[in-house]
Amino acid sequence: MKILLLYREPFDRTITSKVVSGGGEMFCRSIYENFKDDVIVRHIPYAADIEWSGSDKNQEQRNIINFAEDNKVDVIISNYPNAIYTGSLIQKSHIPIMFISHNVYPIPSIIQRMNSLTHNGHSVFLVSEWQHKRYKEMVKRIKNKYPDISGYINSSYCKIEPKLVEPFWDCGTIGRCDKNKKPFLLRKLLKDTDMKNLIISGKYQSENDKKYYEKNKELDNVKWDIEYNEVIDKLSKFKTYFSTCNHETWGITALEALSCGVPLILNGYKDGTHASEIIPANKSHYKVIPTNNKEELIKAIRSFKNVDRKEIQEMTFEKHSKKNWKKNFENAIDKTIGNFKNVRTVL
């Protein structure tokens, strides 16, 4: 089987870069690492979505289709909602497209694009039922048809088994410098406490977040743009991990924390839930706190004082093994190709 993987990166780093910008990049890397012999990566400049004209974007869609056909691939995998990757021209592809949505994009047009993709025989996958629920709410508001979803794909799996070590920081978090991800919320909530904390982040990716970066760039106990191996080394020394973003759809960093034996504290959505609740292998491995609640965060940190880190690590590796993830992904590819053949036979 031959796969065309569409890839973009905020700083135009390669898919094998030692610095990983975020969850989407990590997910693409998982595909590449597990199916390397069958994957062709097409790197599309990050500026394409912002700076290119409409005609340039249309041409890139044609280029993707032509490239896929020239290389005789069996499936095109796209992880981005923008027109270049899901627009009206690429929807006409004679090669099945497997579109995986990783966020809840607050733009009504994404619903129409997903509907058009499935109408043309392509497949749409989500990463969690929590995300599915948010999209259903959006569809209800805009009174549109809800797209057919082919299933769910976990955003990651346990990749390395770090050595269990004594924690140094009471709490830590990881998140790109994005005001919506709000990694520096941890510092704000633990201000005026004696709790040691560390934030791991990377420079802002868009001008919209420049002000957020400027406001926080001089803070102490922040690690900027460090390599992945160092991220895991620091993460393994957290006593607890705080997921600051309460509207993410699947927490890759939450899984990485659990794989280090670190329990989770999840910043709850307005309905008191969090998408990452599906990741821990046991309910004792995490707590959900009310949105941005300082007192409950401190209480949660203290509650994990005598947690069994070895148990957390072992149970997480059993639930999120590479074998399980790869099999699920292979099934999703097979389903994408099967769906396409069935629909195109009718059309």
pLDDT per position as a tens digit, 76-104: 999 999 999 999 999 999 999 999 999 99
Burial of residue 139 (number of CB atoms within 10 Å: 0-12, 13-18, 19+): middle
What is the number of residues in the chain? 347
If you average pLDDT over residues 63-67, what whole number do you get?
Answer: 97
Do 201 and 330 fall into the same domain?
A: no
pLDDT value at 346 more than 60: no
Give domain status of residue 183, yes or no.
Answer: yes
At residue 161, the pLDDT reads: 87
Longest dimension (CA), the chain: 66
Per the prediction, the chain carries an average pLDDT of 94
Cα–Cα distance between 136 and 147 in angstroms, integer? 9
**pTM for this prediction:** 0.91
Q: What is the mean pLDDT of residues 190-216?
A: 90
What CATH number corresponds to the domain at position 290?
3.40.50.2000
Q: What is the pLDDT of residue 4?
A: 98
The reported pLDDT for the residue numbered 347 is 52
Confirm if 24 and 102 have CB atoms less than 8 A apart. Answer: yes
Mean pLDDT, to the nearest integer, of 260-284? 97
Same domain, 8 and 143: yes
Task: Assign 127 a pLDDT band (cuts: 50, 70, 90).
Answer: very high
Per the domain annotation, does 164 fall within a domain? Answer: no
Cβ neighbors of 259 (< 8 A, separation 6 or more) are: 158, 159, 160, 161, 162, 313, 316, 317, 320
**For residues 204 and 85, which has the higher predicted lDDT (pLDDT)?**
85
What pLDDT is recorded for position 43?
Answer: 96
DSSP 156-185: ------PPP----BSEEEE--S-TTT-TTH
Cα 280 from Cα 274, distance rounded (Å): 12
Q: Which two tokens stand for residue 255?
A: 């899984």
Residue 272 lies in a domain: yes
In a domain, 162, yes or no: no
Handedness of CA 196, 202, 205, 210 (dihedral sign): positive
Looking at the domain assignment, is residue 165 inside a domain? Answer: no
* Residues 143 and 195 occupy one common structural domain: no
Statement to judge: residues 273 and 289 lie in one domain: yes
Same-domain status, 227 and 270: yes
Q: Are residues 262 and 188 in the same domain?
A: yes
Q: In this structure, are 181 and 290 located in the same domain? A: yes
Backbone angles phi, psi at 242, to 5 degrees: -105, 115
Q: Are residues 294 and 339 in the same domain?
A: no
> Where in the sequence is the domain holding 326, given as residue range(s)?
3-154+322-346
Structural domain count of the chain: 2
Per-residue confidence (pLDDT) for residue 311, from 0 to 100? 98
Q: Does the residue 300 lie in any domain?
A: yes
> Does residue 306 sit in the same domain as residue 270?
yes
Contact 120, 67 (CB under 8 A): no
Sequence-ordered list of residues with C-beta below 8 angstroms from that of 59, at least 6 positions apart, any chain: none
Same domain, 302 and 216: yes
CATH (domain of 68) = 3.40.50
**Same domain as 327, residue 309:** no
Give 129-187 pLDDT, tens digit per residue.
Answer: 999 999 999 998 888 888 899 999 999 999 888 999 999 999 999 998 988 899 999 99
If one counts every other C-beta atom within 10 angstroms of the C-beta of residue 322, the result is 14
With b for 16 or more beta-carbon neighbours within 10 A and e for fewer, the 275-296 pattern comes to bbbbbbbeeebbbbbeeeeeeb
Q: Which two tokens stand for residue 191?
A: 């201000």
Q: Is the pLDDT of residue 275 over 90?
A: yes
Assigned domain for 314 exists: yes
Q: Tell me the per-residue pLDDT of 180-193, one tens digit each, with 9 for 90 and over.
A: 899 999 999 999 99
What is the model's pLDDT at position 143?
80
> 30 versus 344: which is more confidently predicted?
30
Q: What is the mean pLDDT of residues 270-297?
A: 97
Burial 252-273 (b: 16+ CB within 10 A, else e): bbbbbbbbbbbbbbbbbbeeee
Same domain, 140 and 70: yes
What confidence tier does 217 reach under pLDDT thresholds 50, 70, 90? Answer: confident
69 has pLDDT over 80: yes
Pairing of β 197-201 and β 222-224: parallel
